[in-house]
Amino acid sequence: MLNFRTDLASERRDIYQKVQGTEGKLNGIESQKEQINEKLSVERVKITNEEGEKAIGKPKGIYTTIDIKNLKIAQEEEINKASEVLAKELGDIISMHIDKQGEILVVGLGNESVTPDALGPKTINEIEVTRHFINYMPQYVKEGTRMVSAISPGVLGTTGIETVEILKGVVQNINPKLVIVIDALASRSIERISSTIQISDTGIVPGAGVGNTRKEISQKTLGVPVIAIGIPTVVELATLVSEGIDIFIERLQEKAESNEYLNRLQQNDKYEEVKEALNIGEYNMIVTPKEIDGLIENMKEIVAQGINLAM
């Protein structure tokens, strides 16, 4: 299998097609695009058989991608419109698996104190849970309300427990009919960062995008359908640099250039050319350790103590 280094099915399909040189339809992979408005589009990819599974290394199921342009400067109405599109796509997938009143457990994966990994736990704080009202104050709840509960189980590094073990226990005790997991993903492309939402009904392998594979969270391990909502928040550095080098090698080959070209290239500042080639655009892209929040706490202590001592 190719090493895709991305969690997005649509990116994987594109890479597969590029490598195979197949532009047209793939056996076992169906796609359909819809442009909602100038800023929002939806692509629904369906993997229908084993051939499709093998091609892009993802299990059979639905992979819907919502793309939002320029989220960076989002206005309230754009945020509302994007939520509505997500609600529709998510609602469609939920109703393929359970009925209108089937209880749902929403799970926010990730580490709240690591900025690019905090999306899951932060989202959980905003979910409107109803399970306890229905259990303890049924008289205040409109009939037919769906039971919803929500949990942020933490990450293996800080709990010492595989996330799937925690979730198995919770699912056994509260018996939801379906689980939704929210996770920050790695992507291959800078433009997708915080502007793409992937919804799939095949579960998730936490950390898969960055090579830290954890045990899978899916119907196989939890016993109920698992819908995963994934949002790219980072690109891994080495992936990006490899890609940058590929682009330059292509240019070298196109121009069939000799060592003179290489010499010239090295003397120029390739900076602007790279910026353009990597499609960095208006973003201010930085490279930083994932642990930067913690490192800054350490440094803060050193500098503050250092200054206090010097006085």
| Window 193 to 222, contacts with a second copy (CB under 8 A) | 193-194, 197, 210
- The reply to whether 36 sits near a second copy by the rule CB under 8 A is no
284 binds a second copy (CB under 8 A): yes
Q: How many residues bind a second copy (CB under 8 A)?
A: 133
Q: How far apart are CA 144 and CA 259, in angstroms?
A: 73
Q: How far apart are CA 78 and CA 68, in angstroms?
A: 9
Determine the interface stretch with a second copy among 6-14, 27-35, 56-64, 235-243 (rule: CB under 8 A): 235-243
Length of the chain: 311
CA gap 61, 229 in Å, rounded: 14
CB of 216 to a second copy, least distance (A): 16
Query: Hunting for tokens 């920050």 — which residue is that?
Result: 184
What is the number of other CB atoms lying within 10 angstroms of the CB of residue 58?
22
Instruction: Say if CB 100 and CB 146 are below 8 A apart.
Output: yes
Among 48-56, 57-65, 218-226, 267-275, the segment contacting a second copy (CB under 8 A): 267-275
Rounded distance between C-alpha atoms, residue 251 and residue 256, angstroms: 8
The helix or strand, by DSSP H or E, that contains position 31, with its residue range, turns out to be: strand 29-35
- What are the angstrom distances between the C-alpha of 49 and each of 6, 21, 274? 21, 21, 39
Q: Which of the stretches 28-36, 43-51, 54-62, 158-166 binds a second copy when contact is defined by CB under 8 A?
A: 158-166
Instruction: Decide if residue 298 touches a second copy (CB under 8 A).
Output: yes
Q: Return the range that interacts with a second copy (CB under 8 A); candidates 21-29, 57-65, 215-223, 299-307.
A: 299-307
Q: Which is nearer to a second copy, 9 or 228 (CB)?
A: 228
Nearest to 4 by CA among 201, 193, 218, 239: 239
Rounded Cα distance, 12 and 9, in Å: 5
Q: Is 96 a binder of a second copy (CB under 8 A)?
A: no
Rounded Cα distance, 112 and 154, in Å? 8
Nearest approach in angstroms of CB 268 to a second copy is 10
| Neighbour tally for 245: CB within 10 Å | 10
User: Shortest Cβ distance from residue 24 to a second copy (Å)?
Assistant: 23
Site for a second copy, residues 55 to 94, rule: CB under 8 A: 68, 71-72, 74, 79-80, 82-88, 90-91, 94
Distances, alpha carbon 41 to alpha carbons 19, 79, 89, in Å: 25, 14, 12
Stretch that binds a second copy, among 9-17, 43-51, 146-154, 217-225 (CB under 8 A): 146-154
Residue 244 sits in the site that holds a second copy (CB under 8 A): yes
Largest Cα separation within the chain, whole Å, is 81
Is position 271 an interface residue for a second copy (rule: CB under 8 A)? yes
Of 14 and 28, nearer to a second copy (C-beta) is 14
Interface residues for a second copy in 163-192 (CB under 8 A)?
165-166, 168-174, 180, 182, 190
Which of residues 20, 96, 245, 279 is near a second copy by CB under 8 A? 245
Q: Does residue number 239 form part of the binding site for a second copy (CB under 8 A)?
A: yes
Q: Does 266 bind a second copy (CB under 8 A)?
A: yes
Spatial separation of the C-alpha atoms in residues 51 and 55, rounded to whole Å: 6
Residues 118-137 that bind a second copy (CB under 8 A): 118-119, 122-133
CB of 166 to a second copy, least distance (A): 5
Distance, CA of 40 to CA of 238 (rounded, Å) = 30
